[in-house]
A and B are shown apart, each in its own frame.
Chain A
């Protein structure tokens, strides 16, 4: 029975190692190393596990520095593990002091690795990244276009400087023009790519072509280098997917084995490590991490913005105003306006949640036959907009209680959603621009009159 178990454990670990290797992780130790790590024996095992942890964490977190020496590795790994929420005694500074690297055993590293593997969906994320590389016939995400903005830095720029320096404004306009040109170009080549993609997909699904008489083998070999490359890529991808499926099949056993590791660790627990004794060292006020500070800054900025918004909103209107307004309106019109408003608010809330429904994630396109398949589409959020949506039910972080994952999406429903999103964005942009136009006109009206100049706004474009 024991022998059986250990053999099974070895198989399971081997399948994990194979999967990790196919995912492109470096420094994957062998199954034997894993087993030895359980028993806390061997210096080389420790080193290997540090490296493994480092490479895993590199892939899953954005470590913004490059360090290769082992001592640096140590602090990075600890920091990264802390960022993942792992709280073992050797990571944190406790009243007992920080544990030096030499004392950290391989078993602890193994448990840490298990933690990283189990929290979130690390393997799936790695699989996704790797499959994006290998599968060129998938629709890549478009999220790359809108980089997250640095909220604070722009607000500090002196507006006056802009206006005074003519050249800068002109340059800005020029760059804007270039950007618009880029947009148009992107749209047109995107169309071309979609057309070619469809052709490739349709010829891959339909039974096709070659008669059994190759006219000349050389001709074939020349033309099909692209195909050969694609075939190789597909083979790698298939192997990867198979390794993943194999791993999923054996996963429960792995976790049982990890349980046993934790057992053996607990049995060896040192006196200082007991739960009661671990309490945080109260940090001194002078904080010296730039990024820690950045977090705090971010929070403060958020609070400030919210406060400003809140007070602004309070001052702007009162509820009685609205009531008075509503008396005047027709019931239908009222409803329509309310619906529009609800849509807009929903769109606003949706804009910051990073869900794939808005189409910005990656997809694997597959050409469907003429008959429609049964609809497996399970949306993460209700597809229809309810008027109550503006009551804050869709804030980030509270996304969906159901937590259903999307496996298959119909193009038609995605098109509808994307069109909604496009309309929303266009609407918002239009509102903002209109507001700005009015603002500029009002502010400069008196001055222009004084100077004797009339500003004639351009006629709106008929789309």
Chain B
């Protein structure tokens, strides 16, 4: 039964879609899980730091900050003094973006930081000025940390470990020192390095292990930028590339059209001037679909007009008696009028369609004359249908446009509506198939009220609700 097979096919398509969506969900969950542990690690460290040092933090912090500032100034002097001609931008060492980002949202450099390229080399600003900004903003920004409570974001975590911040800023600075290779006074650099950790990190004794571990961490992060940062930078790079690609795709290339014209000139004179058989076929399909829709619309409008006519008891077109006009316009008349207007519109569309179909037929015949008779070979009867996208001449962009949305609710709404429209389309098709196939037989041929009930529910209610059939035993 082809109806059943149609519904089965629809179910299969839905199941395929479901598996795709489930697959996507799994992929997204995995990605999010990969993101979370790193965040959670950070959070744990910060939490422990907090717990230990909270009461004394303020004082200590100030002390550390002062030390840090002094160190930075020293570094600046050292650098400026010994290598004045060195271009700071030649620093080849990669600046770590996550470290940058932990320095605070307010920094103008942060956007620049995240948009760094794959290697993470920052060339947008001088390290020295960055350090300076760091130190200034550090004092300003730490006070505002309490207020930030961004979900799942360690920067916004209110209990942000200051010590870890300091540590990381020291590493920043260290890296800027370490990375400027060929820096002549290596000894002074090392001095700075060693003087660095003892001061700001903590008042603990174990400073050399700290220094070495910090140093080790620096080197480790040199070698392996985390997949996360790589991913972020890749994504930003990709969206940039996409923007460029989208901008380019619609530009016409004169040489290309010139080439096409020349090749066309080599074809036979009787060759149709434009289009292709695949195009014509696709258009025929589209028109057929439209025609089906129109004919269903027409049938339902015709039925409705007839029904309102019968219920209201008047001929369409004869004016009703004065009595009916009391309450204003009845809904019957409104719907009747609407149906009539629809029919009129349909007629216009059909007239246009016929013209179009006539054109298509001429085109098709022109192509048909050239159709090859394939006598030889087993593979002679190879059906070909064009994937409508690329042969489409209507300027429709085949590349996916960018959808900009502002909130999760918006994205969800867009997705929901897209799916809903697709499903409704499916429902409409099924209904059309049903009404085409289930032809109501003439009255005497109806055997079974139950069958009638089923048909009514399928055709009239979409299978959701059922009518009730009641035996009328009451004598009139």
Are A444 and B341 in touch, CB under 8 angstroms?
no
User: Is B57 an interface residue, CB under 8 A from the partner?
Assistant: no
Listed A/B pairs (22) with beta-carbon separation below 8 Å: A64-B383, A82-B370, A131-B399, A147-B13, A159-B438, A180-B463, A189-B25, A193-B21, A195-B412, A199-B32, A207-B155, A208-B101, A210-B98, A212-B102, A227-B228, A244-B245, A298-B285, A322-B317, A328-B325, A365-B402, A391-B348, A432-B296
Q: Tell me which residues from 168 to 219 in chain A have a Cβ below 8 Å from any Cβ of chain B.
A: 168-173, 175-180, 182-183, 185-187, 189-200, 203-215, 217, 219
Q: Is B295 an interface residue (CB 8 A)?
A: yes
A211-B41, A211-B164, A325-B317 known; A241+B242 contact, CB < 8 A: yes
Contacts of B298 in A (CB 8 A): 309, 312-313
Q: A30: CB under 8 A from chain B?
A: no
Q: Are B464 and A461 in contact (CB under 8 A)?
A: yes
Residue among B260, B267, B377, B397 with the highest chain A CB neighbour number at 10 A: B397
Residues in B398-435 with C-beta less than 8 Å from chain A: 398-406, 408, 410-433, 435
Q: Which residue of A lies closest to B246 (CB)?
A: A407
For residue B429, which residues in chain A have a CB less than 8 angstroms away from its CB?
Answer: 146, 149
Q: A224-B228, A316-B305, A432-B435 are in contact. Are A154 and B345 (CB under 8 A)?
A: no
Q: Which stretch (A2-10, A21-29, A35-43, A299-307) binds chain B?
A: A299-307
Residues from chain A with Cβ under 8 Å of B433 in the complex: 149, 154
Give the residue name and chain of the B residue nearest to A175 (CB): B7
Which A residues lie within 8 Å of B369 (CB)? 280, 282-283
Tell me whether B455 is interfacial, beta carbon within 8 Å: yes
Contact A200 B32 (CB under 8 A): yes
Rounded to whole angstroms, the CA-CA distance of A205 and B286 in the bound complex is 41
- Bound: A256/B262 CA distance, A: 12
**Assuming the A-B contacts A214-B220, A443-B443, are A425 and B461 also in contact, with contact meaning beta carbons closer than 8 angstroms in the complex?**
no
User: When the two chains form the complex, which single residue of A92, A136, A458 contacts B467, counting CB atoms closer than 8 Å?
Assistant: A458
Q: Are B25 and A193 in contact (CB under 8 A)?
A: yes
Chain A neighbourhood of B420, CB < 8 A: 187, 418, 422
**A255 with B441: in contact, given A75-B380, A238-B237, A266-B266 (CB under 8 Å)?**
no
**CB contact list, B359-374 vs A, under 8 A:** 360-361, 364, 368-374
CA–CA, A443 and B17, complex, Å = 40
Interface of A is mostly: helix
Give the number of chain A interface residues (Cβ < 8 Å). 268
Q: Does B450 contact A (CB under 8 A)?
A: yes
Known: A127-B245, A209-B98. 7 other contacts (CB 8 A): A75-B379, A87-B264, A154-B3, A160-B445, A220-B226, A252-B255, A422-B420
Complex Cα distance, B392 from A405, in Å, reads: 13
Q: A31 an interface residue at 8 Å Cβ cutoff? A: no
**CB-contacts of A125-178 with B (<8 A):** 125, 127-128, 131-132, 135-136, 138-140, 142-149, 151, 153-155, 157, 159-164, 166, 168-173, 175-178
A63–B384 alpha-carbon span in the complex (Å): 5
Contacting pair B31 A283 (CB below 8 A): no
A122 to B391, CA, bound (A): 8
A32 interface hit (Cβ, 8 Å): no
Query: CB within 8 Å of B: which of A406-463?
Result: 406-412, 414-415, 418-419, 421-422, 425-426, 428-429, 431-440, 442-444, 446-448, 451-458, 461
Find chain B residues with CB under 8 A from A245 CB: 241, 244-245, 248
Indicate if the CB atoms of B421 and A421 lie closer than 8 Å.
Answer: yes
Q: Which residue of B lies closest to A406 (CB)?
A: B401
- 1/0 contact string of A277-308 vs chain B (CB within 8 Å): 01111111000111110111011011101101
Asked, given contacts A82-B372, A358-B421, A363-B402, whether A251 binds B256 with beta carbons under 8 Å apart, the answer is: yes
CA distance A244 to B283 in the complex (A): 30
Residues of the A chain whose Cβ atoms lie less than 8 Å from the Cβ of B227: 220, 224, 227-228, 231
- Pick the contact of B373: A138, A283, A419 (CB < 8 A): A283
Q: Judging by beta carbons under 8 Å apart, are B411 and A194 in contact?
A: yes
